[in-house]
């Protein structure tokens, strides 16, 4: 059967897919609420079984203080395995649905987590259902749903790195960039710089103190200067806090830093710079805590081949598929850093990630779902 047949099948399924999107959005799954994450993944697994039947394999990875990761495998009709990554956690706290319910207004569907990334999960599941009902060939699909992506995937990372080994490809159903796939992503580092000074009365005995705030202010200039736009490195000091009162020479001050890098070598440069931070006043000291949340996603030959396949599938369906480099990171970064084939941004078309105008465009759902299905068929042929 042709790609057009797949697309037509998915078009007919759009009302059911929209209903499924509502169903998932109305499951509140904030990254920092393990109770809601647990009930959420239980409900999602029940929905998976309704749509795809019982998986051939199933394993629930205990997230402890984070969200659990559900791994399910659906046996294919062709050799090889494809790993599909979707996260079910969102940045939205419990109760967001009260004043921002799921709504559909013409082509636009909106709700917390619709774009990032519950529609991507819906599209991945319906691509599998489509191929099954049409009797089309595909490899075994191993689907990993994690509840900790928005906070760096501390639970899912080792699972992803293990499961992506010896696969035909890893497909990441994160939202697209205005329809384009995300073939390059920046790596992310999250750090806290803390200065410990000496407290004293600002009026009666100012010289007895060593101000942590004054020292941190000097360091912030050095930290911000580490950014290098030519290399694709940005450094943002986004949080500053310290001191106990206006009339107290501050004994402690901290800043929170977000670092984004395009080149793996920049991670070592930033690490060395942080290790070399020093205070001017010898009575004060500085400490750095934090880590690299994700390595950068850089292009490799095998991923380029995957994009070429996706581009041909889109062209055969009559639309252009672009590719872009973005500053945000995803679980695909872990796969790319190991030199393995990965395609990211296969999910929703829309916008407003992490914002109140988050939305998806329903008219793009059939094409995006057919693209995932087409990739699976093409990988079966490979």
User: So which residues are the catalytic ones?
Assistant: 89, 149
Which run of H or of E encompasses 201?
strand 200-201
Q: Which residues are CB-contacts of 60 (< 8 A; sequence separation ≥ 6)? A: 41, 68, 69, 70, 71
Residue 30 CB neighbours (<10 A): 22
Name the token pair of 240. 């500053």
Cα distances from 357 to residues 29, 45, 103, 116, 264, in angstroms, run 18, 28, 12, 12, 33
Name the token pair of 250. 């501050």
Coil/strand/helix, residue 261: strand
CA angle 263, 269, 274 (to 5 degrees): 130
Name the token pair of 197. 């000074």
| Beta carbons of 142 and 73 less than 8 angstroms apart | yes
Q: Which residues are CB-contacts of 3 (< 8 A; sequence separation ≥ 6)? A: 313, 316, 317, 370, 374
Cα distances from 81 to residues 20, 21, 166, in angstroms, run 26, 26, 8
Distance of CA 350 to the CA centre of its chain: 16
Coil/strand/helix, residue 129: helix
Residue 79 CB neighbours (<10 A): 11
Name the token pair of 230. 């030519």
Give the phi and the psi of residue 377 in degrees, each rounded to 5: -65, -40
Name the token pair of 344. 């990211």
Nearest to 337 by CA among 297, 307, 303, 291: 297
Would you state the torsion angle of the CA atoms of residues 6, 10, 12, 16, taken in this order, to the nearest 10 degrees?
A: 150
């Amino acid at each position: 059967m042709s790609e057009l047949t797949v697309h037509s099948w998915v078009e007919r399924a759009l009302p059911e897919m929209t209903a499924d999107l509502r169903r998932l959005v109305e499951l509140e799954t904030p990254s920092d609420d393990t109770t809601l994450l647990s009930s959420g993944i239980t409900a999602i697994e029940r929905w998976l079984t309704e749509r795809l039947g019982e998986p051939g394999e199933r394993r629930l990875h205990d997230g402890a203080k984070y969200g659990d990761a559900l791994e399910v495998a659906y046996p294919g009709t062709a050799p090889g395995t494809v790993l599909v990554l979707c996260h079910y956690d969102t940045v939205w706290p419990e109760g967001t649905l009260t004043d921002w319910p799921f709504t559909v207004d013409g082509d636009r569907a909106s709700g917390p987590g619709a774009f990032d990334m519950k529609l991507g999960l819906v599209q991945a599941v319906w691509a599998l259902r489509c191929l099954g009902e049409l009797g089309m060939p595909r490899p075994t699909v191993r689907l990993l749903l994690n509840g900790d992506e928005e906070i760096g995937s501390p639970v899912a990372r080792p699972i992803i790195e293990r499961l992506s080994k010896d696969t035909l490809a890893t497909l990441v159903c994160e939202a697209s960039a205005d329809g384009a796939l995300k073939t390059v992503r920046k790596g992310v580092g999250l750090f806290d710089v803390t200065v410990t000074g000496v407290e004293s009365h600002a009026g009666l005995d100012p010289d007895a103190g060593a101000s942590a705030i004054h020292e941190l202010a000097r360091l912030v200039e050095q930290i911000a200067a580490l950014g290098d736009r030519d290399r694709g490195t940005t450094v943002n000091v986004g949080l500053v806090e310290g001191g106990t009162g206006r009339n107290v020479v501050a004994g402690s001050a901290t800043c929170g830093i977000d670092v984004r890098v395009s080149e793996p070598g920049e991670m070592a440069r930033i690490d060395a710079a942080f290790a070399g931070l020093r205070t001017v006043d010898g009575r004060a000291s500085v400490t750095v805590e934090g880590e690299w949340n994700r390595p950068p996603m850089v292009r490799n030959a095998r991923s380029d081949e995957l994009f070429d396949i996706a581009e041909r599938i889109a062209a055969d369906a009559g639309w252009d598929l672009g590719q872009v480099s973005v500053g945000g990171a995803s679980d695909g970064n872990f796969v790319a850093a190991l030199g393995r084939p990965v395609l990211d941004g296969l999910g929703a078309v829309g916008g407003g990630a992490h914002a109140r105008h988050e939305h998806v465009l329903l008219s793009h759902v059939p094409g995006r779902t057919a693209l995932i299905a087409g990739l699976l068929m093409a990988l079966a042929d490979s």
